[in-house]
C-alpha cells in the first residue's frame, strides 16, 4: 500500500492574482504524505504572502520534526495520533510566522489566510483546519465511489448561524457577510484549529480545496474527475479544468491525496 499526493493552484477566470498556495511532502521511509492548502486574504501581495508563509511553515515544521526524530511508521495499522501535536505545532508556527511578517511589513498588517493540512498513511488520516478551505473524503463503495464526505466544517459567520439554528440552509445566501471567517491565521496571536482523525483504506481519496473550487464544482463532478482511469496528476488537472469550465470567479486550488 502507498499514499500519493498532488496539488495545483490556478488563478481562475476573473482574478488578476493568485492568493492560494498548495504543497505536498512525502516521508518515503514511513509511507506517509503531507498535503497543505491555504487561501490568503488582505489584498494581492498580502494574501499571496500569507498563504505562502503558512504553507511553507507547515511543510518545514512537519519535515524537520519527522526527519530529526528519524521517524518510522509504527506497526499498529499506521495510526497517526502521536503526530497530531506536530501538525498542530506546525499550524501555530505558521500563524506566528504571519504575525512576524505583519510587523516587518506594516502595509500587510491585515493579511491572513485559511489553512487545511492532512497527514495520511495507508490506514489513517489526520486533518487540521482553520477557515473555509475544506477537506473531503471520497471512499470507494461496492458500486463505485461514494459522494464526497465533507470532513471539515467551515469557520464562517453563516455556518455559525446554521449551527446555532438561527437560519435555515435556504436562508444562507441572503445572510450579510456570510463569507466572513470566524477563524483564520493572522488576526490573533494564536489560532484555535479543528482536528480530525479518520480511517482510510486503499481506494480512498482526500481532497483539500479552496472555496474558489468547491463553490463552482459539485460533489458529483468531483467524483467524476477522481474516478477517471488516469494518473493522480491527471485527475487533479481534470478537477481544476472543471472549475475553469464552470467559470471560477476566484482562485481555484486542490490537493488530491490517494491511498492505493
DSSP code string of 141-152: ETTEEPPPEE-S
Helical (H) or strand (E) element with 257: strand 252-259
Range of the domain at 217: 3-259
- Total-model pTM: 0.94
Q: What is the pLDDT of residue 190?
A: 96
Q: Give the phi and the psi of residue 40 in degrees, each rounded to 5.
A: -80, 165
CATH classification of the domain holding 17: 3.60.40.10
Q: What is the pLDDT of residue 173?
A: 76
Q: What is the pLDDT of residue 159?
A: 87
Q: Which residues, given as ranges, of the chain have pLDDT below 50? A: none
What CA dihedral angle connects 24, 27, 31 and 35, to 10 degrees?
-20
Q: What is the pLDDT of residue 87?
A: 97
User: How many domains is the chain built from?
Assistant: 1
Q: Which residues contact 37 (CB under 8 A, 6 or more apart)?
A: 7, 20, 21, 22, 55, 115, 116, 117, 133, 208, 209, 210, 253, 254, 255
Q: Give 65-114 pLDDT, tens digit per residue.
A: 998 866 665 555 667 888 999 999 999 999 999 999 999 999 999 999 99
Mean pLDDT of the chain: 92
Distances (CA, A) of 210 to 47, 172, 194, 240, 259: 14, 19, 17, 11, 21
Q: What is the pLDDT of residue 55?
A: 98
Residue in the block written with cell 492568493:
19
What is the number of other CB atoms lying within 10 angstroms of the CB of residue 238?
Answer: 18
Distance, in Å, from the CA atom of 131 to the CA atom of 160, rounded to the nearest integer, reads 12
Distance, in Å, from the CA atom of 41 to the CA atom of 111, rounded to the nearest integer, reads 6
Amino acid at each position: 500500500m502507498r499514499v500519493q499526493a498532488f496539488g495545483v493552484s490556478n488563478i481562475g477566470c476573473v482574478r488578476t492574482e493568485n492568493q492560494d498556495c498548495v504543497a505536498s511532502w512525502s516521508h518515503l521511509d514511513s509511507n506517509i504524505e503531507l498535503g497543505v492548502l491555504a487561501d490568503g486574504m488582505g489584498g494581492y501581495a498580502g494574501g499571496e504572502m500569507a498563504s505562502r508563509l503558512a504553507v511553507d511553515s507547515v511543510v518545514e515544521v512537519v519535515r524537520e520534526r519527522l526527519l530529526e526524530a528519524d521517524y518510522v511508521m509504527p506497526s499498529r495499522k499506521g495510526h497517526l495520533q502521536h503526530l497530531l501535536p506536530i501538525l498542530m505545532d506546525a499550524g501555530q508556527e505558521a500563524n506566528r510566522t504571519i504575525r512576524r511578517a505583519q510587523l516587518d511589513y506594516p502595509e500587510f498588517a491585515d493579511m491572513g489566510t485559511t489553512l487545511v493540512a492532512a497527514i495520511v498513511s495507508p490506514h489513517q488520516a489526520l486533518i487540521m483546519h482553520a477557515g473555509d478551505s475544506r477537506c473531503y473524503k471520497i471512499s470507494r463503495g461496492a458500486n463505485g465511489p461514494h459522494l464526497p464526505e465533507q470532513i471539515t466544517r467551515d469557520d464562517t459567520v453563516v455556518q455559525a448561524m446554521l449551527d446555532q439554528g438561527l437560519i435555515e440552509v435556504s436562508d444562507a445566501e441572503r445572510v450579510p457577510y456570510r463569507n466572513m471567517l470566524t477563524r483564520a491565521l493572522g488576526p490573533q496571536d494564536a489560532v484555535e484549529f479543528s482536528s480530525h482523525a479518520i480511517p482510510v483504506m486503499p481506494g480512498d481519496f482526500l481532497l483539500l480545496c479552496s472555496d474558489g473550487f468547491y463553490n463552482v464544482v459539485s460533489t458529483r463532478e468531483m467524483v467524476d474527475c477522481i474516478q477517471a482511469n488516469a494518473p493522480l496528476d491527471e485527475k487533479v488537472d481534470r478537477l481544476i479544468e472543471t472549475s475553469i469550465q464552470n467559470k471560477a470567479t476566484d482562485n481555484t486550488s486542490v490537493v488530491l491525496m490517494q491511498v492505493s
